[in-house]
C-alpha cells in the first residue's frame, strides 16, 4: 500500500474503503473482510448511520489499532461548538474507539467554524489525530482558512473522471491540505468501461477500467475511498500499485474531464 503524508506527519493510505450506504451485517462483514485483505483506511460518517457497524467490523479483526486509519465526519446534528463536542463523543462511542485518525466537518455548515473549534479541541486532547473538512470548493476553502488556526489536513470531495478538480487540488496543496476523493468510480454512472481509451489501457496493463481510474487518481496524489459490496471488487480496488500509467496516458485521461458534478446536492 502506498501512502500520503498529512500535515500532521501521519501517513494516510492512498486507497481505503468508503462505507456510504452500507448497513447492518453487510457493513460489519465488509469492513472486517476489507481489513483482512489489507485495507487500513476505513471511512464512515454520522450521516451514514453505520458507525456502530463499522466499529463492530473493526473489532472482529486482530490488526493493531495503531495500524488502522479510521475516518468519520460530523453532520448537521453537530452544527455548533457544543453540539460538535457531543457529536465527537457519540462517534467515538459508536465506533468503540479511543480516538479516530481523521475527523471532518462533512459539509460547509452555517456554524462550521464553531464545529471546527470543537475538532481542534479534540485534536489537542488526543481524541483525534488529524482534522479536516469535506465538500469545500476553492472559494469556501479559502474563506475557511482565514478563520482557523489549524490548517485542514484533508478536504474530502467528489472527484472522478468527469470532475477531476485539478485547480482545487493545487490550491489545497499550496496550503498543505490533501485532497481525498469520494465516489472516485462515479458510482458506475459514467460507463467509462466502454470507452476505447479504457479498453486499450485495460488490455495493455491487464487491469479493469476501474483499476485504471483508481490508478489515475492515486498517481495524482489523491487518496481514494471507493465503496463496494462485492469481495472481488475489494480485492480489485487494492490491486493497483503494480503498474504505472505513462505521462501521455495520464494526459489522455485528463482530457476526459468535464468539470461537472454528478450530484445535484453539491454546491460546486
Catalytic residue among 39, 48, 109, 123: 48
Whether 48 is a known active-site residue: answer: yes
227 within 8 A of 23, measured Cβ to Cβ: no
pLDDT band at 192 (very low <50, low <70, confident <90, very high): confident
129 within 8 A of 12, measured Cβ to Cβ: no
pTM value surpassing 0.85: yes
pLDDT band at 265 (very low <50, low <70, confident <90, very high): low
Q: What is the pLDDT of residue 266?
A: 60
Provide mean pLDDT across the span 106-119: 98
Provide mean pLDDT across the span 14-39: 97
Using alpha carbons, select from 45, 67, 63 the residue that is nearest to residue 54.
Answer: 45
pLDDT band at 268 (very low <50, low <70, confident <90, very high): very low
Q: Which residues of 187-208 are buried (b: 16+ CB within 10 A; e: fewer)?
A: eeebebeeeebbeebbeebebb
Tens of pLDDT along 201-215? 999 999 999 999 999
pLDDT band at 119 (very low <50, low <70, confident <90, very high): very high
- Give residues with Cβ within 8 angstroms of 218, minimum separation 6: 2, 14, 15, 224, 240, 241
Angle, helix 247-254 to helix 196-205, in steps of 10 degrees: 150
d(CA 213, CA 190): 12
Quick one: cell of 51?
458507525
d(CA 92, CA 98): 6
CATH code that applies to domain 3-254: 3.20.20.100
Whether residue 188 is predicted with pLDDT greater than 80 in this model: the reply is no
DSSP structure string for 114-176: HHHHHHHHHHHTTSBS-EEEES--HHHHHHHHTT-SS--SEEEEE-BTTB--HHHHHHHHHTT
d(CA 218, CA 151): 22
Longest CA–CA separation in the chain, Å: 54
* Average pLDDT across the chain, whole number: 96
d(CA 120, CA 10): 16
Question: Is the dihedral angle over the CA atoms 108, 116, 156, 227 positive or is it negative?
Answer: negative
Q: What is the pLDDT of residue 85?
A: 98
Tens of pLDDT along 40-58? 999 999 999 999 999 999 9
Share of the chain above pLDDT 70, in %: 99
Tens of pLDDT along 66-93? 999 999 999 999 999 999 999 999 999 9
Whether residue 189 is predicted with pLDDT greater than 90 in this model: the reply is no
Tens of pLDDT along 137-147? 999 999 999 99
DSSP annotation of 209 reads H
Amino acid at each position: 500500500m502506498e501512502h500520503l503524508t498529512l500535515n500532521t506527519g501521519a501517513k494516510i493510505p492512498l486507497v481505503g474503503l468508503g462505507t456510504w450506504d452500507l448497513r447492518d451485517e453487510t457493513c460489519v462483514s465488509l469492513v472486517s473482510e476489507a481489513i483482512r485483505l489489507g485495507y487500513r483506511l476505513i471511512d464512515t460518517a454520522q450521516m451514514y448511520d453505520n458507525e456502530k457497524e463499522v466499529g463492530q467490523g473493526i473489532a472482529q479483526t486482530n490488526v493493531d489499532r495503531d495500524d488502522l486509519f479510521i475516518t468519520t465526519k460530523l453532520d448537521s446534528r453537530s452544527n455548533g461548538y457544543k453540539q460538535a463536542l457531543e457529536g465527537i463523543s457519540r462517534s467515538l462511542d459508536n465506533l468503540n474507539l479511543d480516538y479516530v485518525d481523521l475527523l471532518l466537518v462533512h459539509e460547509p455548515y452555517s456554524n462550521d467554524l464553531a464545529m471546527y473549534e470543537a475538532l481542534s479541541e479534540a485534536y489537542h486532547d488526543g481524541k483525534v489525530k488529524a482534522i479536516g473538512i469535506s465538500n469545500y470548493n476553492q472559494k469556501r476553502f479559502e474563506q475557511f482558512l482565514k478563520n482557523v488556526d489549524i490548517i485542514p489536513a484533508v478536504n474530502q470531495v467528489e472527484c472522478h473522471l468527469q470532475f477531476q478538480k485539478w485547480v482545487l487540488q493545487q490550491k489545497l496543496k499550496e496550503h498543505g491540505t490533501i485532497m481525498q476523493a469520494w465516489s472516485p468510480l462515479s458510482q458506475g454512472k459514467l460507463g467509462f468501461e466502454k470507452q476505447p481509451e479504457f479498453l486499450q489501457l485495460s488490455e495493455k496493463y491487464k487491469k479493469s477500467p476501474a483499476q485504471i481510474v483508481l490508478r489515475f487518481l492515486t498517481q495524482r496524489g489523491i487518496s481514494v475511498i471507493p465503496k463496494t459490496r462485492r469481495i472481488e471488487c475489494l480485492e480489485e480496488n487494492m490491486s493497483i500499485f503494480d503498474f504505472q500509467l505513462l505521462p501521455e496516458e495520464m494526459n489522455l485521461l485528463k482530457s476526459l474531464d468535464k468539470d461537472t458534478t454528478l450530484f445535484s446536492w453539491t454546491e460546486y
